[in-house]
Chains A and B, each alone.
Chain A
C-alpha cells in the first residue's frame, strides 16, 4: 500500500526517462547541457507558479488566477520602471507584496464565505487580467540596465549549457517548496486539508489560517513567476501568460498529484514541467511538426494519468472495501 503513494511519481519519472531516451535515440544532440539549460530557462516561470499550484491542489483546491497574476506582475513592473525611477528590486518587492496579498484575500474569501475555490479564483483571474489592461493595453518594453545585468547572470555548465539565474530560481523554489511540504507543520496541514477538511478541523488544524496561507503562497509564487517572465521577455504585456494556469495544473497532474487533493509531491511537478518542456524541445528539433503537437501529447498524457489515478484509487478501495463500508446503524 505504501507503494501506491509513490506509484504516480514513479510512473512520471519513468515516462520522462523513457521520453528522453526516445528523443536521444532520434536526435543524439538532445543529450547535452545546452538542451537541459534551455529546458530550465524556458520553463522557469511555469515551474515556479506550478509549485504554488501544487500546494493549492494538494489542499484540495484550485487556483485559476495565476496566469492573469503573472501578466499583471509583468505589466506592473514595466509600467513602474518606465514611468518612475525606482530600482527594479524595490519594484519586485512591491509586486510580490501585491500578489501575495491578493492570494491571501482569495484564500480568506474561500474560507470565510465558504465559496468554492474554482469560482473565487475565476473571479480573481478576471480581476487581475482586467487590472493589467487598465495599466496598459500595449506591450511595454523594459530597458532598465539592472534587467540586462540579471539576464546575463549564469553558470556555464560543462558542454556549454547555461544555467541562468531564472533557471536557478526555479530549482531553488522547487527545493524550498519540497522542504515546506514535507518537513513543516504548514506542509502537513496542507496534506491534512486535502485529506478531509472536517477531520482536519477536529484534529486541530487551523483551517482558516492554512487556507489563507496556501493561496498567499500561490499568489506569491505567481508574482515571482511574473518577475521571472518579465526577465525572460524583457517586457510586460497584458495579454501574455494566458492559459498558464492550465499548463500549471497539467504539470501538477502529470507530476502525480491527485486532483482531489491530499496526495502528491512537489518534486513530481518538476518532472511534469520537464515532460512538457521535453515535448516542445522535440518539436523544435524535428522542425516539421506543428507546435500544436505539444498540446495533443499533453492532452493524451493527462488522460493517461487521470486513468492511472482512478486505477490506484479503485485498487485501494477494492482492497479494503469490507472495512471501509460502514454498516448502516
Chain B
C-alpha cells in the first residue's frame, strides 16, 4: 500500500488572500477506492483546498499530483477534463432540460451532424441503470427530487471525469432515506475504484461512509487518519482544537438555579428541514449557552427565536404570555434582541456613524412616526460609549473605521438601548482581539447580574463554560443535551457533541 502511487496528492499547498493565509502548507492524499472525509469548522480551509484542487483558485505554493503527475488546472472545466469532477450541495444542473440533455450537454451523440436524441436517451438510460435509477430520461430534471438530481449530477461528473469525485455537502438538504440512497451510490463508486472526497457537517454520516478523515483548522492540517479505531470524541476535539487532557475542569461555579422566575418558555419550537422541535427555559439573570459544531443548528435556533426563520410549530411564552414570533419586528416588540454572527453583513451599517448605529434598534421599536430627537440620540450614544468603553474618535465616526471588538460593542449597545428582556448573541467574540474578548465576557456577566436573560452561541467552549448556567448541545439540527451544574465543562460539551446519534439530517 505504502509504495503505491496515490490517486491524488497535494503537497505543501498554501494559499493566501490579501496576506491572510487560508491554507498553510497542507498535505492531502487520496487513494483509489477510498472515501476521504474532509472536515473542519468555518474558515478551516476546506473549501479553499477543494477550490485549489478543482482549479477555481491558483495555489500560491506546493503541488498537486494526479496519479503521480503534477497538474495545474486552469479552471473547473480543465480539472473535469483531467479527471476531477465535483458535485455541489446545490445541484448545478439545468432544471429546464431533460435528464438526458443534462447528462450529455456539450457532448451529445450526433448523427448526420444533428443530435441523435434516441441514442442520447438510450445512453442515458444505460448510464443511470448502473446507479440503480430507472427513470424517464426525457422528462425535465425539475420533475425529480433533489436526491435523484444529486445522483444524476454524480453520474455526469463520474462519466466525464472518472477518477476523482468531490462531493461538497451533498446531503445537506436530503432526508434520511435519500441520504442512504446517495450513500449506496457512493459505496458502489468506491468499489469501482474511484477516489471520493466527501465534505459534510454530519459526523454520523462521516463515520458511516468514510474510510479516511482529514481535519483542517485555521488553514492548517491537523490530522489525517483512518476512520477505523478513531474515537468520535477525538475527532471533535481535533475539529474544535481542544485536547481532552487540557479540558479536565469540572463545573464552573455558576449556579444553575438563580432563583429568578422563568422569563422565556419555549415548547416544541421547530421548523421542518431546519431544526427539530426543541424546548427552552430561560430565567431572569441567566446565561444559557449553546454549543455544537458548525451546521448543527446553533444559528438556526437563534433565528427561530428571533423570527428570522418562521417556525412551523411550537409555542413561546414571554413572562407567562403567549407570544407570536413570526417576524423580527414582533420579536423586538416582545423585548428580544439579536446580535448576529456575521456582524459585517447582518449587523452594523458601516457607513453610518456610531450614534446612528446605536439609535437604530430603539428607533425601529418606537416606529418611524416618533423619531428620536438629535439630543436623545447624542445622549444615548455618549452614555453607551462610556458604559461599554467603545474606543472611537467620536460619536460621529463611521462604524466601519472601528476595530472588530468595538464594532461588536456598538452592536451590543444598539440592543441594550432598547432595554431588552432577552438578548441573543451569536458568536459575540469571533474575530476580535484578546483584550476586547475579555471585555465582552465581562459585559455578558454584568448584564446577567443586572437581571437580563441571555442566550449565547459560541464555538469557544471555555468561554461558554465560563459564563453559562446551562449549556444546550446541538448536533445534526437537533437539541441533544442540556448540561447543568457540574456537567457544564468543556469535557462535558465535547462528550455530548461526540455522542453518537441517528444518521441523517433532521427531516
CB within 8 Å of B: which residues of A? Answer: 1-2, 4-5, 179, 182-185, 188-189, 191-192, 194-196, 198-200, 202-205, 262-263, 316, 320, 322-329
Query: Given A199-B93, A329-B169, A2–B108 Cβ distance below 8 Å?
Result: no
Q: Are A326 and B136 in contact, with the CB atoms below 8 A?
A: no
Partner of B143 from A200, A202, A320, A329 at Cβ < 8 Å: A320
Binding site for A on B (CB under 8 A): 76-77, 80, 89-90, 92-97, 101-102, 105-106, 108, 113-115, 117, 136, 138-140, 142-143, 145-146, 156, 169, 172-173, 201, 273-274, 295, 300, 303, 309, 477, 505
Query: Are A326 and B92 in contact, CB atoms less than 8 angstroms apart?
Result: no
Q: List 15 A-B contacts (CB under 8 A).
A: A1-B142, A2-B138, A183-B114, A183-B115, A188-B115, A199-B93, A202-B77, A203-B106, A262-B97, A316-B143, A323-B145, A325-B173, A327-B477, A328-B300, A329-B89
CB distance from A326 to the nearest CB of B (A): 5
**Once bound together, how far apart are the Cα atoms of A5 and B300, in whole Å?**
37
**Contact pick for B105, options A182, A205, A325, CB 8 Å:** A205
The reply to whether A328 and B139 contact each other, CB–CB distance below 8 Å, is no
Q: Are B115 and A263 in contact (CB under 8 A)?
A: no
Q: Is the pair B300, A202 in contact by a Cβ cutoff of 8 Å?
A: no
Q: A194-B96, A327-B273 are in contact. Are A205 and B173 (CB under 8 A)?
A: no
Q: Is the CB of A188 within 8 A of B114?
A: no
Q: Is the CB of B115 within 8 A of A185?
A: yes
Contact, CB under 8 Å: A320 / B94:
no
Q: Which 3 A/B pairs are nearest by Cβ-Cβ distance? A: A1-B143, A195-B94, A262-B96
Q: A327 CA to B273 CA in the complex, in Å?
A: 6
In Å, the complex CA distance between A322 and B145 comes to: 9
CB distance from B101 to the nearest CB of A (A): 6
- Chain B residues with CB below 8 A from A198, complex form: 92
Chain A nearest CB from B338 CB (Å) reads 15
Q: How far is the CA of A308 from the CA of B92 in the complex (A)?
A: 28
Known: A2-B143, A183-B114, A188-B115. A326 touches B97 (CB 8 A): no
Within 8 Å CB of A202, what residues of B? 76-77, 92
A309–B105 CA distance with the chains assembled, in angstroms: 26
> Which of A179, A183, A191, A326 is in CB contact (< 8 Å) with B96?
A191
Question: Does the CB pair B140–A2 fall under 8 Å?
Answer: yes
Q: Which of A2, A192, A320, A327 contacts B97 (CB 8 A)?
A: A192
Q: Tell me which of B96, B139, B273, B505 has the highest count of chain A C-beta atoms within 10 A of its own C-beta.
A: B96
Contact: B106 with A5, CB < 8 Å? no
A191–B97 touching, CB < 8 Å? yes
In the bound complex, CA of A320 to CA of B140 (Å): 13
Shortest distance between the CB of A46 and any CB in chain B (Å): 27
B115 & A327 in contact (Cβ 8 Å cutoff)? no
A204 near B172 with CB under 8 A, answer no
Q: Cβ of B93: which chain A residues have Cβ within 8 Å of it?
A: 199, 203
Given A2-B136, A204-B77, A204-B105, does the pair A327, B274 have CB atoms closer than 8 Å? Answer: yes
User: Closest CB of chain B to A200's CB: distance in Å?
Assistant: 6
Contact between chains at B106 and A320 (CB < 8 Å): no
B101 and A188 contact, CB distance less than 8 A: yes
Residues of B with C-beta under 8 A to A184:
113-115
Query: What is the bound-complex CA distance between A55 and B144, given in angstroms?
Result: 27
Q: For B97, list chain A residues within 8 Å (CB).
A: 188, 191-192, 195, 262
Question: Which A residues are in CB contact (< 8 Å) with B90?
Answer: 326
- Nearest Cβ on chain A to B341's Cβ, whole angstroms: 12
Expressed in whole angstroms, the minimum distance between the Cβ of A176 and any Cβ of chain B is: 12
